[in-house]
Structure 1
Amino acid sequence: MTYSKPSLAFPHSWNVALWGRLHILNLDDIEAAARIIYAHMPATPQHRWPLLGEALGCEVWVKHENHSPIGCFKLRGGLSYLSYLAEAGLAPNGVIAPTRGNHGQSIAYASRLFGLPAYIVVPHGNGPEKNAAMRAHGAILIEHGDDYQQAREFAIGLEQSKGLHMVRSFTPQLLRGVATYPLELLRSVEDLDAIYVPIGMGSGICATLLARDLLGVHTQVIGVVADGAPSYALSFEAGHVVTTDTAETVADGLACRSPDPGATKLICERAERIVRVTDEEILAAAALMLRATHNLVEGAGAAALAALTKEREVMRGKKVAVIASGGNLDTSLLPRLLPFLVVGGE
């Protein structure tokens, strides 16, 4: 299912409040973040994969954010944001962040680099491997609630009671770091017709929209959500934030039920459309990615390829990129992936 872009009257310039003031991101901001990020990790590759092109009938490029030191794009935002906090002395008691895994890994990794204690709140039943990775990076892990939203609300309470600084998933200082990956992609691969970007809390797609517009290119940016976590698709259709009671999907990085208002505004204004994909389509895309590129990606990392597969007739003959946003697949999902590998290999 897809939703077409609604007609909205949002202004083209995008301002975001940051500690009581307005800040407009520009190329200088993103390039300043890149200097911080490249001190700790290299730029990730973007590759054209012929087998994906044969399967989908178009030229397919993959931006491999699964190749970062924590296996996902989130580290860029964490490095940018925590560097700012450390330099400004804004988190003397440490930071806290709610997560399903990748945001938490980013904050834990960056906090250790910049000497800040990190408290990470996850819902009960969160992926044990991601929990172990966050602890390995030095985070103090707290389990609370049945889903991300309940973990987030608990984290907000701890922020206030313990005097911690909460690292939210959508702020300008974080977004400038995330925007380094679409900047790399768009500067390396010219004349892209479209980029498919998975949507969790919205930083990845918003960063892509900003980078595209700052570079002045005309690439379509298409968001992707899980069918069982459609809050951003519903918000895009309505033109305002729409929450859902549940967010059930194999792609835990997409399991959002309460969209960020700032992200919603930018997506509604500038994205081309949002595509919904089922869990079966996500697993099939992960299997296709493994067969065609030998990269094992998590559910959110396969979602963009799932959406392109769904829209392959629309994109036939075009030059398209998909964002492999992460590779931290919960190995308990491997049995569900295997049938798609067998079918695909026959």
Structure 2
Amino acid sequence: MTSFAQDARSAEERLRTLFPPTPLQRNDHLSERYGADIWLKREDLAPVRSYKLRGAFNAMRKVLERDPAQQLFVAASAGNHAQGMAYVCRHFGVRGVIFMPVTTPEQKIMKTRTFGGAQVEIRLTGDYVDDTLAEAKAWCAEQGAHFLAPFDDPDVIEGQASVAVELLAQAGAQGMGQPDLVVMPVGGGGLSAGMTGYFRAAAPGIACRYVEPEGGASLAAALAEGAPVTLNKVDTFVDGAAVARIGGHTFDMLKGVDPAHLIAAPENRICGTILEMLNVEGIVLEPAGALSVDVLPGLADEIRGKRVVCVTSGGNFDFERLPEVKERSMRYTGKKKYVILRLPQRPGALRDFLEMLGPEDDIARFEYLKKSARNFGSVLLGIETARAENFGALFDRLEAHGFVYTDITADELIGEFVL
């Protein structure tokens, strides 16, 4: 019986029929910023701009080796797993049926169709992923198809482990030596479980750090309980890693992780990392793909002088989301706030307020919320500024001149209705 490390190396070797290794690149910008030797394992440069292709290929390959007559595969996904499966369906010449929520953006549907070509059929069903998954599994059972899981499958985990196999081989070939630390994202756990399993066997001296989105910390919850649990609420912004329940197979390989090595990344902070990598480095990362880079500031003391690899797991970023990303980043850094201003209904009141603004302050939104009051009107204001500390001075001026306001920037309930 072969070991997990041997199987991972075999999976990596077989993958070469599909695409060459993704680059392992030193990043001068991050290295200089943190006083470390920082490299990026660029899974965002895979053919489908995500590592998901690896697990889908390995799982489908093994099914076909066991049962060549199995020519129908099913998946439920609105993201990278769908694109990876479509790509390998075309490669193997088998039929794939991919169920997607009705709410899936057209861009993702189009890309999945492009990768799969005539081999893939897309079915839009359900408003939520859970509904889509139930429909897909029911149809799969009726048709006698094989359901290709996105992460909770030993063959998928083994395929994702090929990232670690490549990483070590490239590190040796490029003369950088073995990394001191590898930072990787965690969603359902396929990538992190595969890489961890391989490092434990082939390079136990490498330290690992695991990053989850703050609003989808399913591994943290599982470690606390000693078993996978379902989160009551998930922030879906980091859609490539926002999973309500980590997989059972993946948790079996991750349950030995030290909770101190698990880091939660705030969604709004991730937005700033996406913008920095895009504007400074020209690297397009989706929210999940930015997780490993996002936590570097918190690791600054630990990584100084060390060799670090960050796995940038995906680059399927829809640029229509760019305004939202900028908005969330500015709110996180304190450079944008929303306030409801109680404005006196008298001539010159608006001018008086505008004179309170500083030279670096700018009104990004101005909207009357209530127009029936005789003496005062409620105004929703979105204010942007160059430096977060400018708001303290602005609010002091408003209060000194008798203006009444309420800062609603962090109020989620009000924000759902008016922002």
Instruction: Tell me the TM-score normalised to structure 1 length.
Output: 0.86
Equivalent of 2:81 in 97, 103, 115? 103
1:183 has 2:165 as partner = yes
1:314 has 2:302 as partner = yes
Please say if residues 74 and 106 of structure 1, whose CA atoms lie closer than 8 Å, have aligned partners that are also in contact: yes
Q: 1:73, CA displacement in angstroms? A: 0.6
Deviation track 1:203-247 (CA, whole Å, cap 9, x = no partner) reads 110111012112133112222111111222211232211211332
% identical equivalent positions = 24
Aligned-partner SS, 2:216: coil
Amino acid at match of 1:201: G
Superposed CA RMSD: 2.4
Q: 1:283, CA displacement in angstroms? A: 1.0
Bigger-Rg structure (1/2): 2
CA distance in 2, matches of 1:288, 1:234: 30
Aligned partner of 1:49 in structure 2 is: 27
Hey, which bits of structure 1, 4+ residues long, moved more than 6 A?
none
Instruction: Tell me the TM-score normalised to structure 2 length.
Output: 0.71
Aligned-partner SS, 1:329: coil
CA distance in 1, matches of 2:123, 2:14: 29
1:153 has 2:137 as partner = no
Aligned partner of 1:268 in structure 2 is: 255
User: With CA pairs under 8 Å and 6+ residues apart, which has the higher RCO, 1 or 2?
Assistant: 1
CA distance in 2, matches of 1:151, 1:54: 45
Deviation track 1:240-286 (CA, whole Å, cap 9, x = no partner) reads 11211332232111121122112112112146622111111111111
Deviation track 1:270-309 (CA, whole Å, cap 9, x = no partner) reads 4662211111111111122224432101111001111223
Structure 2 unaligned residues grouped into runs of 5+ = 172-176, 336-385, 388-419
CA distance in 2, matches of 1:33, 1:188: 16
1:86 has 2:74 as partner = no
Shift in CA distance, 130/148, structure 1 to aligned 2, threshold 3 Å: same
Equivalent of 1:142 in 95, 108, 123? 123
Shift in CA distance, 211/237, structure 1 to aligned 2, threshold 3 Å: same
Shift in CA distance, 150/128, structure 1 to aligned 2, threshold 3 Å: same
Please say if residues 242 and 258 of structure 1, whose CA atoms lie closer than 8 Å, have aligned partners that are also in contact: yes
Aligned partner of 2:374 in structure 1 is: none
Shift in CA distance, 322/269, structure 1 to aligned 2, threshold 3 Å: same
Aligned partner of 2:49 in structure 1 is: 71
CA distance in 1, matches of 2:298, 2:69: 44
Q: 1:93, CA displacement in angstroms? A: 4.9
Please say if residues 223 and 271 of structure 1, whose CA atoms lie closer than 8 Å, have aligned partners that are also in contact: no
Amino acid at match of 1:159: C
Shift in CA distance, 192/55, structure 1 to aligned 2, threshold 3 Å: same
CA distance in 1, matches of 2:211, 2:41: 15
Aligned partner of 2:322 in structure 1 is: 334
Amino acid at match of 1:103: H
